């Protein structure tokens, strides 16, 4: 089993080295890689470097090589958070972001001073009294707390992003990439926390033996995602540029809002903007002659729907109408849904069931 682990370590190390070389010396590829992701790879490279030297028997497997790999332990979580923020909130690098790396910097200084500088005699003395074991457990606990906290912050950004886009877009964004990214990291952290908790009950060898594999899984996942982002950079272009626009706050009266509601309903019936499968709230607001916040206020206060729900409501009505025509007999349900403005079968099915209370097939079995 140790041989397999070593092979994964070597693979991850050389893969991270390759990606770093591409980032440094290939300007064409560099523009497709987030600077935060590049730093994340550097973090992994540092962690793997010590493990490679140790497993290769350099310096007679000196324990300080393992300590060297721990320098990256608290840099991982903040980078995951900053990368997620950069993708979903279009945040560019700022010197203020460095504050997130202060715990990692202080932790690295402690690792160097406590584990790497002291002589073997001092380390053996600490081990004999049990101090070394307690400190190692404390370091692992700190690493889990910091990395899990930043993972939670990244997850919060994603959930906030999901709520926001439903007020701006009439379609679902393809966020599978970032979902899988956060999901796999979360699963690894949960397994690590579980094993660490079990080790506190006296089964420390279980956690000690499993921890390297968890770390390697995380490493390989990050490296794969980075490579995938290089060969298919569109997976990182999640947020439409129009979401970054700013508008003045709404100043319309209640009477104005009622007139605007009627105008919007006429617009939806006459011009059918919902047939555009990529319709944005900003585009509908421009057609209506109002600002984005004014349309948002109209939908939320006067109609009781967000933009996503409102547009798909009209698409469902259009679908029901089209499904009763002769032409519909030549199309599948999703084919008709596409004619009505849907671009996702999943979105269509969920929207239909939410509005009509049943699936499309069941509805038409009962009504046609």
Please, which residues bridge with residue 326 across strands?
A: none
Closest alpha carbon to 6 in 65, 53, 64, 73: 53
- Cβ proximity of 347 and 172 under 8 Å: yes
- Cβ proximity of 34 and 87 under 8 Å: yes
Question: What pLDDT does residue 246 have?
Answer: 40
- 282-307 pLDDT, tens digit per residue, is 889 889 888 888 888 888 878 888 88
Q: Is 118 in a helix, a strand, or coil?
A: coil
Please, which residues bridge with residue 169 across strands?
A: 280
Q: What integer is the mean pLDDT of 352-357?
A: 86
Question: What pLDDT does residue 125 have?
Answer: 92
User: What is the rounded distance in angstroms from the CA atom of residue 67 to the CA atom of residue 114?
Assistant: 10
Ramachandran region, residue 289 (left: φ > 0; alpha: ψ -120 to 50; beta: rest): left
**Share above pLDDT 90 across residues of the chain, in percent, rounded to a whole number:** 15
**pTM, rounded to two decimals:** 0.68
CB atoms closer than 10 angstroms to residue 247: 14
pLDDT(129) > 70: yes
What is the DSSP code string of 2-51? HHHHHHHHHHHHHHHHHHHHHHHH-HHHHTTS-HHHHHHHHHHHHHHHHH
Q: What integer is the mean pLDDT of 97-102?
A: 89
Closest alpha carbon to 169 in 311, 52, 43: 311
pLDDT(245) > 50: no
Task: Kindly calculate the radius of gyration of the chain based on its CA atoms and give it in whole angstroms.
Answer: 27
- 217-228 pLDDT, tens digit per residue, is 766 666 666 666
- Cβ proximity of 159 and 89 under 8 Å: no
Mean pLDDT of the chain: 79
Question: What pLDDT does residue 208 have?
Answer: 66
Question: What pLDDT does residue 198 have?
Answer: 85
Tokens representing 191 are: 């397994």
CB atoms closer than 10 angstroms to residue 220: 16
pLDDT(161) > 50: yes
Residues whose CB is less than 8 angstroms from the CB of residue 15 and which lie 6 or more positions away in sequence, other chains included: 220, 223, 227
């Amino acid at each position: 089993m140790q041989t397999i682990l070593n092979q994964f370590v070597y693979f991850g190390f050389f893969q991270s080295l390759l990606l770093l070389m591409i980032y440094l010396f290939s300007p064409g590829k560099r523009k497709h890689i987030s600077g935060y992701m590049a730093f994340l790879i550097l973090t992994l490279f540092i962690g793997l470097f010590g493990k490679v030297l140790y497993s290769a028997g350099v310096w007679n497997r000196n324990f300080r090589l393992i300590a060297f790999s721990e320098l990256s332990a608290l840099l991982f979580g903040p980078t995951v958070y900053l990368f997620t923020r950069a993708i979903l909130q279009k945040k560019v690098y700022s010197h203020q972001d460095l504050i997130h790396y202060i715990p990692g910097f202080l932790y690295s200084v402690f690792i160097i001073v406590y584990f790497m500088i002291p002589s073997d005699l001092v380390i053996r003395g600490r081990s004999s009294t049990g101090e070394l074991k307690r400190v190692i457990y404390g370091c692992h606990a700190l690493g889990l707390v910091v990395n899990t906290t930043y993972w939670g912050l990244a997850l919060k950004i994603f959930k906030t992003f999901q709520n926001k886009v439903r007020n701006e877009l009439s379609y679902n964004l393809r966020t599978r990439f970032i979902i899988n990214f956060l999901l796999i990291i979360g699963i690894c952290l949960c397994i690590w926390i579980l094993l660490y908790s079990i080790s506190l009950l006296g089964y420390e060898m279980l956690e000690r033996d499993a921890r390297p594999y968890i770390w390697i899984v995380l490493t390989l996942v990050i490296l794969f995602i980075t490579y995938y982002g290089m060969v298919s950079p569109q997976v990182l272009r999640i947020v439409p540029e129009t979401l970054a626009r700013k508008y003045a706050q709404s100043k319309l009266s209640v009477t104005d809002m009622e007139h605007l509601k009627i105008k919007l309903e006429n617009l939806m019936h006459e011009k059918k903007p919902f047939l555009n499968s990529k319709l944005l709230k900003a585009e509908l607001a421009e057609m209506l002659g109002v600002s984005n916040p004014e349309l948002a206020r109209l939908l939320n206060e006067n109609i009781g729907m967000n933009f996503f729900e409102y547009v798909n409501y009209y698409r469902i009505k259009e679908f029901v109408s089209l499904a009763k025509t002769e032409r519909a007999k030549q199309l599948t349900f999703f084919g008709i849904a596409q004619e009505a403005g849907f671009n996702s079968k999943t979105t269509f099915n969920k929207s239909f069931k939410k509005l009509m209370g049943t699936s499309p097939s069941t509805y038409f079995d009962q009504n046609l």
